[in-house]
């Protein structure tokens, strides 16, 4: 098949998937070029859910799961990749910047869902993931965390506190191991 025909089919497929996602999730707003490879994500958006252009769900074995509670918001920037089994839970506010890559089985949550001590309130705090962040397989991002631009969160890390821009963080709890080299125009591929 000629390259021009393949390009046309690819673009048509992205437009069609964006329309399907909009129809299946009327409370959500999707930019153009949504692509789903494999299982369509399970989305329950009772609050505000806005996704930018070029959102890519790569889920050949397990769907992503996205839950946005009432009076909560989830914002996803342009050209974001969400892999198999990603779970995003927004009960207050979760912001994910543009050009982020989120690997398999990552959990991002702005609530702990339950009390830790008797009589204690359920903890909710905003999560902000700035532009061009890569979160490795099986990492967990907990309430109240900001991950700075261009940072990398290693596989299996548990992010319990802020990670500054241009940092590589590993471990449980995640700690900064070294700086990441990134120019102002760097975009992760």
Residues 101-124 pLDDT 10s:
999 999 999 998 877 778 888 888
The strands making up 87-90's β-sheet, listed across from edge to edge, are 42-45, 65-68, 87-90, 107-109, 140-141, 158-159
Contacts of 133 (CB under 8 A, 6+ apart): 97, 100, 101, 147, 148, 149, 150, 151, 152, 153
pLDDT tens by residue, 129-187: 999 999 999 999 999 999 999 999 999 999 999 999 999 999 999 999 999 999 888 99
* pLDDT on residue 153: 98
* Homologous superfamily of the 3-179 domain (CATH): Hexapeptide repeat proteins (2.160.10.10)
| Ranges of each domain in the chain | 3-179
Catalytic residue, from 87, 104, 114, 123: name it: 114
Q: Is 159 in a helix, a strand, or coil? A: strand
* 114 assigned to active site: yes
Q: Is 135 in a helix, a strand, or coil? A: strand
């Amino acid at each position: 098949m000629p390259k021009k025909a393949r390009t046309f089919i690819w673009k048509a497929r992205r437009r069609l998937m964006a329309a399907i996602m909009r129809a299946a999730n009327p409370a959500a707003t999707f930019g153009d070029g949504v692509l789903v490879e494999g299982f369509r994500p399970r989305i329950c958006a009772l609050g505000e859910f806005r996704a930018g252009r070029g959102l890519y769900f790569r889920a050949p074995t397990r769907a992503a799961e996205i839950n946005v509670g009432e009076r909560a918001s989830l914002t996803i920037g342009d050209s974001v990749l969400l892999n198999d089994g990603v779970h995003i839970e927004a009960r207050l506010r979760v912001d994910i910047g543009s050009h982020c890559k989120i690997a398999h089985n990552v959990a991002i949550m702005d609530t702990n869902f339950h009390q830790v001590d008797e009589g204690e309130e359920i903890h909710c705090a905003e999560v902000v993931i700035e532009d061009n962040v890569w979160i490795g397989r099986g990492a967990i991002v907990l309430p109240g965390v900001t991950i700075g631009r261009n940072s990398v969160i290693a596989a299996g890390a548990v992010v319990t506190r802020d990670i500054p821009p241009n940092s590589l963080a590993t471990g449980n709890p995640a700690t900064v191991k070294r700086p990441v080299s990134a120019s102002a125009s760097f975009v992760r591929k």
